[in-house]
Amino acid sequence: MDFFHGQESLTTIQWVLRAIISYFFLLFAAKLMGRRSIAQLRLLDFTMALILGNILAHPLSDEQLGMKGSLLTTAVLVILYSIGVYVSLKVSLFRKWIEPSPFPLIKNGEIMYKGLGKARITVDHLLSEARKEKIEEVHKISLALWEPDGTISFFLSPQLRPVTPKDLHLKTERFSIPSIIIKEGKIDLEGLQKSAKDTTWLKNKLEIMNVDVRDILLATIDTNDDFIMYLYN
* Residue 62 within any structural domain of the chain: yes
Same domain assignment for residues 70 and 21: yes
Same domain assignment for residues 88 and 111: no
* Residue 213 within any structural domain of the chain: yes
Same domain assignment for residues 83 and 130: no
Q: How far apart are CA 118 and CA 138, in angstroms?
A: 19
Same domain assignment for residues 81 and 147: no
3-state secondary structure of 66: coil
Of the two residues 206 and 89, the one the predictor is more confident about is: 206
* Residue 215 within any structural domain of the chain: yes
* Residue 171 within any structural domain of the chain: no
The residue among 66, 95, 124 that closes a domain is 95
Work out whether strand 186-187 and strand 179-183 pair parallel, antiparallel, or are unpaired: antiparallel
Same domain assignment for residues 34 and 78: yes
Same domain assignment for residues 124 and 68: no
Same domain assignment for residues 204 and 223: yes
Q: What digits encode the pLDDT tens for the residues 167-210?
A: 888 888 777 788 999 999 999 999 888 888 889 999 999 999 99
* Residue 174 within any structural domain of the chain: no
Nearest residue to 105 (alpha-carbon basis) of 43, 140, 154? 154
Q: What sign does the dihedral 159-162-166-169 (CA atoms) show?
A: positive
Same domain assignment for residues 8 and 86: yes
Give me the helices (H) in 105-156, please.
Answer: 113-119, 123-132
DSSP conformation class of 5: S
Predicted local distance difference test score (pLDDT) of residue 80:
78
Q: What digits encode the pLDDT tens for the residues 7-53?
A: 556 667 766 776 777 667 766 766 665 544 444 556 666 666 667 76
φ, ψ dihedrals at 75, nearest 5°: -60, -45
Same domain assignment for residues 36 and 75: yes
- Reply yes or no on whether the pLDDT at 67 is more than 90: no
Domain count, the chain: 3
Q: How far apart are CA 111 and CA 107, in angstroms?
A: 7
Q: How far apart are CA 138 and CA 112, in angstroms?
A: 11
CATH no. for residue 222?
3.30.240.20
* Residue 165 within any structural domain of the chain: no
Domain that holds residue 66: 2-95
Residue 89 confidence class, pLDDT cut points 50, 70, 90: confident
Whole-number CA gyration radius for the chain: 27
Same domain assignment for residues 110 and 151: yes
Exposed, middle or buried, 37 (CB in 10 Å: 0-12/13-18/19+)?
buried
Q: What digits encode the pLDDT tens for the residues 97-150?
A: 777 789 999 999 999 999 999 888 899 999 999 999 999 899 999 999 998 878
φ, ψ dihedrals at 112, nearest 5°: -90, 100
Degrees, nearest 5: CA angle 34-35-37: 85
Residue 71 confidence class, pLDDT cut points 50, 70, 90: confident
* Residue 166 within any structural domain of the chain: no
Exposed, middle or buried, 116 (CB in 10 Å: 0-12/13-18/19+)?
middle
* Residue 112 within any structural domain of the chain: yes
Same domain assignment for residues 50 and 81: yes
Same domain assignment for residues 6 and 86: yes
Neighbours of 175 (CB within 10 A): 6
